[in-house]
Structure 1
Amino acid sequence: MTDQHHVSNAAPPADPWADIRPYMDHEVSEVLSRLSRDSELLNALTRFKLPRLARWSPGLARLLAGRAVRREVASVASVRDFQMRIAGYMERMIRTTTDAFEVAGLDKLDANSAYLFIGNHRDISLDPAFVNYALYQAGRDTVRIAIGDNLLKKPYVTDLMRLNKSFIVPRSARGKRAMLAAYQQLSGYIRHSITVDNHSIWMAQREGRAKNGIDRTDPAIIKMLTMAKRGEPGDFVFGEAVAELKLVPVSISYEYDPCDVQKARELSDVATKGGYDKTEFEDIQSIVAGITGTKGRVQLRFGQPIGADMATPDEVAAEIDRQVIGGYRLFPSHYLALEALGEAPELIARKSITREDRTRFNERLAQVPDELKPYWLAQYANPVKHKAGRLRL
């Protein structure tokens, strides 16, 4: 996947974003060398690829895994090289776990311009991965990806994400002053990426995935995005600060969510126990489940850039919501869930549902524990009601 904007291989003398930005080409070989010796990464790989050997002779398994990693990345000398490796895996994942991947609206956006793509969030790693794959297929540069530091509990995970053009969003900074400084730095990096580097960015419309199927933008994200401009000399005009970032809403729709049962369990626990305790490696398990699980059809729709006629963060959030919900594709799974709940029969597009759709849906539903079924069904039914303006938010 192309990375045309790494003009220089030398680090700038003052790098205000060194601790949060993606790695640059001149850092790649050192990071890969570190990864090939990282015992936690090698243990994880051996448990996945060589489970029996990992049990009987973990040292030998690690040695073999280290050799395999070094062989795999021997010809990787740049971020682009690394992403080209990922492109191959992405193609295989799309071929084996989706029935179709459709892209709409990208052709209306200038290929030579950077955009801040802000999208609904259903899957931890796949939402931006599908955006990248759509850009790659269109011969365009891939995005820098905003990723919460809550996902970066292991140094090797941080290294892998930053090699793949991710930058770090602070969620664990303690104290108001520390959070403010962290968000100021983040806002400055995002603005610099769009307006100076001419390098596109993807970020989610809110913190965390929409586990109940209701996509909504958090206005606090818009406030953060305009912080850096507010701090610059001269008059601050909110609409101009927004227009400069070339915000483009992006809507991703999955016919089936590989993490739907796990999300239903979390929603059930919150409803019945008042909270949900996440296990240590749950986010990593969700990433793996998302990549390997069956998704049915997937649609990605790019919206229109948001102009300077916005006066408040709430107005921008409402416009993002309008485009995301408007661009969301409803599949038979969504209508069948609404039908199973016995709600709003007039919203169900029965003509779009085939016998095969119904069989597939019922087979999936049969595997969901009874106590989780209402939460599982709501994830799929809510987008239908949301699109029709029938949700009480």
Structure 2
Amino acid sequence: MGTFDAIRPYADSEVSAVLARLCNDTEFLDTLTRFRLPKLAGLFGWALRPLVARRLRREVQGIDSVAKLQARIEPYVDRTIERATDGISYSGLEHLHKGRRHLYLANHRDIVMDPAFVNYALYHAGHRTPRIAIGDNLLQRPFVSDLMRLNKSFIVHRSLTGRREKLAAFQLLSAYINQSILQDDESIWIAQAEGRAKDGDDRTDSAILKMFHMSRKDEAFGQVIDELSLVPVSISYEYDPCDLDKARELYTRATTGSYTKAPGEDDRSIAKGITGYKGRVHIAFAAPVRGASDDAKQLAQEIDKCILGNYRLFPVHYLAYAMWEGREPELAVPAANELFGAEELARAQAEWDRRLTACPAEHRPWLVVQYATPVRNQYRIRNARPL
């Protein structure tokens, strides 16, 4: 057994066998049936399952490598983006060198679509797609694990409780990330902190940065970061399909002190994040970090300035900020009508009003904070104020 077999993505030599397994996985076929034929799946799922399996076998026939699988999936990703967004834009790709691998460190709002949009931008710009870090909490079912590992995902063990086990898992993860970039010639995508920033406050966890260094402790921290070619990435959604769910969770935590996920909640969040309306999406790639500080907390602050400063603010963010009790007058944030045209602003106001109306009154402050916080953060940077 290889050192990284427990966490690594599937290799090309394993693709055919895993696809064959998925074509016979009852739970996966039932999930596909519900997704493609929701009105018929309840009563006739048992009869439709063989038809779905036959169609799936045709779709994956001849696929014997990860690259071929991604090429086959790409039209479906394009179609999903067309249906669920008003377009995706990206900037900063000129900072990336096609002959060099990078460590993409991104803010985190959506479980699946964050890395998917980064992949989309890189793929269409002619760059190789990265290996993707995904928490083991999302891989409770075997077919989900198979799907993610087929698509270049590797596993981050978050469910461990023992200190020694956690330390060993981080050590292994650090070694895998370093080997991927420096030896395997494969880029990495990983979120800047564990879990999504449900309140819109994107911050880099210095523990993540320290983890990159764990397997190379005999070298200077800043040197390791420079060699990994760390690229801060800002992922900006005009609208979050899961914003009402996040508002409910934030409200529950604030009023009770805790929040317990219901069975299947992550699955529903994944589905909603993929298919729900997002408006416009922007992906901003910063230049790779050079001359990194040997202080992980200081480096985290510099990365935060980069990610928050490159975040694309849409009209809805300014509309939310204007009604936020936590706004800071000294930042002199302009009103939305000073920055956007009347037609664009009217569309944003209508969509924002619709979301506010759909949100229970007691949850609304937590809906507002999700969209307002990125404005505060960016204008703090513009005004050279502490984050």
TM-score (norm 2): 0.93
> Which moved further from structure 2: 143-152 or 286-295?
286-295
Mapped contact 1:149–1:168 kept (Cα < 8 A): yes
Mapped contact 1:21–1:167 kept (Cα < 8 A): yes
> Which moved further from structure 2: 152-161 or 67-76?
67-76
Distance 2:335 2:194 in 1: 32
| In the alignment, structure 1 residue 380 sits paired with structure 2 residue 366 | no
Match of 1:15 in 2: 2
Mapped contact 2:250–2:366 kept (Cα < 8 A): yes
Q: CA deviation at 1:340?
A: 2.3
Mapped contact 2:95–2:288 kept (Cα < 8 A): no
Mapped contact 1:261–1:376 kept (Cα < 8 A): yes
Q: CA deviation at 1:344?
A: 4.2
Match of 2:52 in 1: 65
| In the alignment, structure 1 residue 341 sits paired with structure 2 residue 352 | no
Alignment of 1:219-234 (within 5 A): 219-230=206-217
Match of 1:10 in 2: none
| In the alignment, structure 1 residue 299 sits paired with structure 2 residue 290 | no
Root-mean-square deviation over aligned CA pairs: 1.7
* Deviation readout 1:315-335 (Å, 9 max, x if unpaired): 221121111011111110100
Distance 1:42 1:102 in 2: 34
| In the alignment, structure 1 residue 310 sits paired with structure 2 residue 293 | yes
* Deviation readout 1:292-350 (Å, 9 max, x if unpaired): 11111111100121123411111221121111011111110100001123644631343
1:144 aligned to which of 131, 138, 144? 131
Q: CA deviation at 1:359?
A: 2.2
Paired amino acid for 1:260: D
Mapped contact 1:43–1:62 kept (Cα < 8 A): yes
Match of 2:349 in 1: 358
Mapped contact 1:267–1:375 kept (Cα < 8 A): yes
Match of 1:265 in 2: 248
Q: CA deviation at 1:192?
A: 0.3
Which runs of 5 or more residues in structure 2 are unaligned? Answer: none
* Deviation readout 1:256-294 (Å, 9 max, x if unpaired): 111100000000000111111101211111111111111
Match of 1:206 in 2: 193
Mapped contact 1:24–1:79 kept (Cα < 8 A): yes
* Deviation readout 1:184-226 (Å, 9 max, x if unpaired): 1111110001111121110000000000000001111111110
Mapped contact 2:204–2:303 kept (Cα < 8 A): yes
Equivalent position SS for 2:280: strand
Distance 2:176 2:202 in 1: 26
Q: CA deviation at 1:57?
A: 4.3
Match of 2:19 in 1: 32
Alignment of 1:140-289 (within 5 A): 140-230=127-217, 235-289=218-272
CA spacing shift, 1:45–1:319, aligned 2, 3 Å: same
| In the alignment, structure 1 residue 92 sits paired with structure 2 residue 83 | no
Distance 1:110 1:363 in 2: 43
Paired amino acid for 1:311: D
Q: CA deviation at 1:76?
A: 1.5
Distance 1:60 1:309 in 2: 59
Mapped contact 1:335–1:349 kept (Cα < 8 A): yes
CA spacing shift, 1:317–1:344, aligned 2, 3 Å: closer
Paired amino acid for 2:134: I
| In the alignment, structure 1 residue 126 sits paired with structure 2 residue 113 | yes
Tell me how many residue pairs correspond in the alignment: 376
Distance 1:285 1:29 in 2: 29
TM-score (norm 1): 0.92
CA spacing shift, 1:366–1:79, aligned 2, 3 Å: same
Distance 2:36 2:120 in 1: 26
